[in-house]
Amino acid sequence: MSNKTPVGSVLVVGGGITGMQSALDMAEAGYYVYLAEESPAIGGAMAQLDKTFPTNDCSM
């Protein structure tokens, strides 16, 4: 890395639960975020799940 000031933005590739969490954390910590997702909507595989254990919460 050079000594000049870095760019204060980040690209997150993939809009599933992981990408969404990374994007939220980065944005809340003061960085501009581009969230790139291949499909027409974010959500990823978790959105397809019915419920999650151990609480059997709705995963939506």
Partner 1 sequence: MNIELLTLSKVTSISGDSGDFTVTIKQSPRFVDMEKCIACGTCAEKCPAKTTDLFNEGLAKRKAIYVPYAQAVPLKYAIDKNRCIYFQKGKCRACEKFCPTNAIKFDDTEKDITLNVGSVILTAGFTPFNPDRFDNYQHAKFPNVVTSMEFERILSAGGPFGGHIHRLSDGKEPKKIAWLQCVGSRDLNRCDNEYCSSVCCMYAVKESIIAKEHLGPDFEPAIFFMDMRTHGKDFEKYYERAKSQGVRFIRSRVHTVTETDETGTLNLVYTTDAGERVSEDFDMVVLSVGMEPAASAIEAANTLGVELNSYKFVKTSGIAPVATSREGIYVAGAIQGPKDIPQSVVEASAAACSAGISLSAARGTLVKEKIFPDELAVQNEEPRIGVFVCNCGINIGGIADVPAIAAYAKELGHVVYTEEPLFACSQDAQDKMVEIIREQRLNRIVVAACTPRTHEPLFQETLRNAGLNAYLFEMANIRNQCTWVHSGEKEKATGKAKDLVRMAINRATLLEPIPSLSVSVNKSALVIGGGAAGMTAAISLADQGFNATIVEKSACLGGSARDVHNTWSGEDVQQFLKNLIERVSVHPRITVLTQAEVVEASGFVGNFETRVQAGEKTHSIQHGIAIVATGGQAAGTEEYLYGKHPSVTRWHDLENHPEKLAGAGSVIFIQCVGSRDEKRPYCSRICCTASVLQAIAIKEKQPDTNVFILYRDIRTFGEREILYKKAREKGVIFIRYSLEKKPVVTETTDGLEVRVFDPILQKELLIHADLVNLATAIEPSPNADIAAFYKVPVNAENFFMEAHAKLRPVDFASDGLFVCGLAHYPKSLDESIAQAMAAAGRAATVLARASILISPLVSQVNRDMCIGCGLCTEVCPFGAIIQEDADGKGFKAKNISASCKGCGLCASSCPKKAIDMLHFRDDQIIAAVCAAA
Site residues for partner 1, window 1-60 (CB under 8 A)?
Answer: 1-2, 4-57, 59-60
Instruction: With beta carbons less than 8 A apart as the criterion, state whether 17 and 44 touch.
Output: yes
Tell me the closest approach of the beta carbon of residue 59 to partner 1, in angstroms.
8
Tell me the closest approach of the beta carbon of residue 8 to partner 1, in angstroms.
3
Q: Which residues of 13-23 are buried (b: 16+ CB within 10 A; e: fewer)?
A: ebbebebbebb
Residue 41, classed as helix, strand or coil, is: coil
Tell me the closest approach of the beta carbon of residue 39 to partner 1, in angstroms.
6
With contacts defined by CB under 8 A, how many residues of the chain interact with partner 1? 58
